[in-house]
């Protein structure tokens, strides 16, 4: 029997999923699945983590995302090809950019034009749906034709037979194939308590007050093949493998390209950067460039050409050039200070004679790591530089890197404590006393010291959940200044969304994801001391 799991919600659907992307991938491989699709809610936030895990064990990963449309239609879109992936990423961007941070707005009318190559699994309607199942089936069939399936999700809630008969009737009437598509909110059944706690955190009430908002049972997990065989007709399980076979896309196919308009027509990028370096070194050494410097420059430029980093240096140079034209103080720092090219491009102010220059600390073919140029700008005027980047390259081609805010001990204690309905005084006490609680017995002593009588098993569960939820993502934040700038639409590679700050957009991947996918970021940072120096100079 062949089977691919096609409906997977990770903890990157924040406060819904109860397992990491990598946990799903490894569990799917253990169970003998053909493949697994990661389908977070209007998001590709966790897909790189899943990709890394799948690469390590040579397991097939399918890229997808789940949506609830404004008319109540619920569906999963899957990318079988690179073109389909770009469509999916662009559709997520469109839906996210329409809304404030943390939410999205997707319309049925967008589907036909935005997802022309994606595979679509219709998984139901919400209670507020504005159209009947029959009407929705007609519309979806007209839009997606042979790329449409109806997903069957058996969660043993007592309505399986009735629901299946209804979907089977629609399938036969509208000629839409059925496929096994059970929702997974956790990779193993044992995560149910954590999933309940996460639901309580999301809803802002203790677990005991959630009622029907809780999952009815612990069936939303990756099931063994023998159990799947009991739940679904064989044809539906085999149909999931048919969908998997249609999916040839791998994240390895994504290719990042630097902006190229910075190079004048008629010359190569290396010639342009060499010309700029020649101008810079003439200004830096007006009495003549030392032979030792020329040797190092030749070596640096050769390595930049070999590793194809010309456009990266030119982009940083352009940003610094703008800042200097506006009399904004700026200074490159970190390992970039080991580059004479950066010194000649006025990105850094450290002359090679001032330090022992070791360029390999900055760029090395052996380390196979991209360059990392951090540039500090006056903190009070950094926004001018940021808006220049958006204005010059366009919102479609430039966005800030995301940071994933994760649970740490204090936040885990507070959120899990509230979810379990513990006394706020105990929760507050524990969150401030991290150094001396690491066993269930300690929790009992602390509660007794505060005059609280709490069931021992609740304390044991609290202890377990706090440890499990640590390092779970809580939400996407905004990097302090790491920009990703691309040649074409950035959303062809990674979805964009609004940041909490006005006039800011971020990509859905963090620094580690960008490194995995070989996307270079440019750090546009703010430094208060440069503002202080500017004010001093102005007096």
Predicted local confidence at residue 106, as pLDDT:
95
CA dist 36 and 223 (Å) reads 12
**Residue 324: both structure tokens together:** 């200097």
Among 72-81, 180-189, 203-212, 473-482, the least confident range: 473-482
Predicted local confidence at residue 453, as pLDDT:
60
Predicted local confidence at residue 118, as pLDDT:
97
pLDDT band of residue 185 (cuts 50, 70, 90) is very high
Q: How far apart are the first and last CA of the chain?
A: 79
Q: pTM of the prediction?
A: 0.91
Residue 289 exposed, middle or buried by CB count within 10 Å (0-12, 13-18, 19+): middle
Predicted local confidence at residue 529, as pLDDT:
94
**Side by side, which strands form the sheet with 496-498?**
330-333, 374-378, 521-527, 473-485, 398-406, 505-507, 496-498
- pLDDT above 80 (res 205): yes
pLDDT band of residue 452 (cuts 50, 70, 90) is low
Instruction: Report phi then psi at 404, rounded to 5.
Output: -95, 110
CA dist 522 and 233 (Å) reads 52
pLDDT band of residue 251 (cuts 50, 70, 90) is very high
pLDDT band of residue 525 (cuts 50, 70, 90) is very high
- pLDDT above 70 (res 444): no
Are the beta carbons of 193 and 165 closer than 8 angstroms? no
What is the per-residue pLDDT across 133-143, written as a single tens digit (0 to 9) for each? 999 999 999 99
Across residues 297-326, what is the average pLDDT? 92
What is the per-residue pLDDT across 74-124, written as a single tens digit (0 to 9) for each? 999 999 999 999 999 999 999 999 998 889 999 998 988 899 999 999 999
pLDDT band of residue 9 (cuts 50, 70, 90) is very high
**Please, what is the angle between helix 160-174 and helix 133-144, to 10°?**
50
- Within 8 A by CB and 6+ apart from 348, the residues are 331, 332, 333, 336, 337, 339, 342
Average pLDDT, the chain: 90
**Side by side, which strands form the sheet with 35-38?**
4-5, 35-38, 60-68, 73-79, 119-125, 148-152, 178-180
- Within 8 A by CB and 6+ apart from 48, the residues are 251, 509, 512, 513, 516, 517
Across residues 225-242, what is the average pLDDT? 96
Q: Which residues pair with 152 in a beta bridge?
A: 180
Are the beta carbons of 227 and 5 closer than 8 angstroms? no
- pLDDT above 70 (res 451): no
Predicted local confidence at residue 436, as pLDDT:
46
Helix (H, G, I), strand (E, B) or coil at 10: coil
Long-range contacts formed by 448-456: CB under 8 A, 24+ apart = 450/423, 450/425, 450/426, 452/423, 452/425, 452/426, 454/422, 454/423, 454/426
Among 31-45, 201-215, 375-389, 431-445, the least confident range: 431-445
Across residues 432-459, what is the average pLDDT? 60
CA dist 289 and 292 (Å) reads 8
Query: Diameter of the chain by CA atoms?
Result: 88
């Amino acid at each position: 029997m062949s089977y691919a799991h096609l409906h997977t919600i990770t903890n990157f659907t924040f406060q819904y999923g109860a397992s990491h992307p990598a946990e799903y991938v490894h569990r799917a491989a253990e169970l003998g699945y053909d493949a697994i699709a990661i389908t977070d809610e209007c998001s590709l936030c966790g897909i790189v983590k899943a990709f890394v895990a799948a690469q390590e064990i040579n397991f097939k990963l399918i890229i997808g995302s789940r949506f609830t449309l404004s008319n109540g239609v619920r569906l999963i879109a899957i990318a079988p090809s690179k073109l389909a992936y770009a469509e999916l990423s662009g559709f997520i961007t469109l839906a996210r950019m329409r809304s404030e941070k943390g939410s999205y707005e997707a319309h049925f009318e967008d589907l036909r034009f935005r997802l022309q190559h994606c595979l679509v699994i219709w998984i139901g309607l919400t209670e507020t749906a504005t159209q009947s199942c029959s009407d929705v089936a007609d519309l979806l069939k007209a839009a997606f034709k042979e790329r449409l399936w109806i997903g069957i999700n058996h969660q043993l809630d007592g309505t399986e037979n009735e629901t299946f008969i209804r979907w089977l009737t629609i399938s036969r009437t509208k000629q839409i194939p059925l496929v096994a598509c059970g929702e997974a909110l956790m990779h193993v059944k044992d995560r149910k308590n954590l999933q309940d706690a996460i639901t309580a955190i999301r809803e802002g009430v203790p677990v005991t007050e959630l009622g029907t908002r809780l999952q009815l049972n612990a069936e939303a997990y990756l099931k063994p093949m023998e159990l799947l065989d009991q739940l679904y007709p064989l044809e539906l399980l085999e149909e999931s493998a048919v969908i998997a076979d249609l999916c040839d896309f791998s994240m390895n196919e994504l290719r990042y390209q630097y902006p190229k308009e910075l190079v004048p027509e008629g010359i190569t990028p290396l010639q342009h950067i060499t010309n700029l370096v020649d101008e810079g070194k003439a200004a830096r050494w007006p009495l003549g460039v030392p032979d030792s410097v020329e040797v190092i420059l030749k070596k640096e430029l050769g390595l930049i050409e070999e590793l194809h980093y010309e456009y990266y240096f030119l982009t940083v140079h352009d940003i610094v050039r703008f800042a200097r034209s506006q009399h904004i103080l700026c200074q490159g720092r970190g390992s970039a200070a080991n580059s004479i090219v950066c010194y000649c491009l006025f990105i850094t102010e450290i002359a090679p004679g001032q330090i022992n220059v070791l360029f390999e600390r900055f760029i090395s073919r052996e380390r196979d790591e991209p360059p990392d140029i951090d540039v500090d700008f006056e903190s009070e005027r950094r926004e001018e530089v940021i808006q220049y980047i958006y204005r010059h390259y366009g919102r479609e081609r430039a966005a800030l890197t995301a940071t994933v805010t994760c649970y740490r001990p204090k936040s885990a204690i507070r959120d899990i404590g509230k979810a379990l309905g513990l006394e706020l005084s105990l929760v507050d006490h524990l969150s401030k006393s991290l150094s001396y609680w690491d066993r269930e017995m300690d929790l009992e002593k602390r509660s007794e010291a505060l005059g609280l009588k709490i069931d021992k098993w609740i304390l044991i569960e609290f202890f377990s959940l706090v440890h499990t939820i640590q390092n779970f993502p809580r939400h996407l934040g905004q990097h302090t200044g790491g920009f990703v700038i691309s040649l074409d639409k950035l959303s062809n590679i990674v979805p964009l969304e609004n940041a909490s700050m006005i006039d800011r957009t971020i990509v859905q991947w963090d620094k580690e994801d960008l490194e995995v996918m070989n996307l270079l970021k440019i750090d546009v940072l703010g430094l208060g001391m440069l503002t202080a120096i500017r004010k001093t100079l102005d007096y």
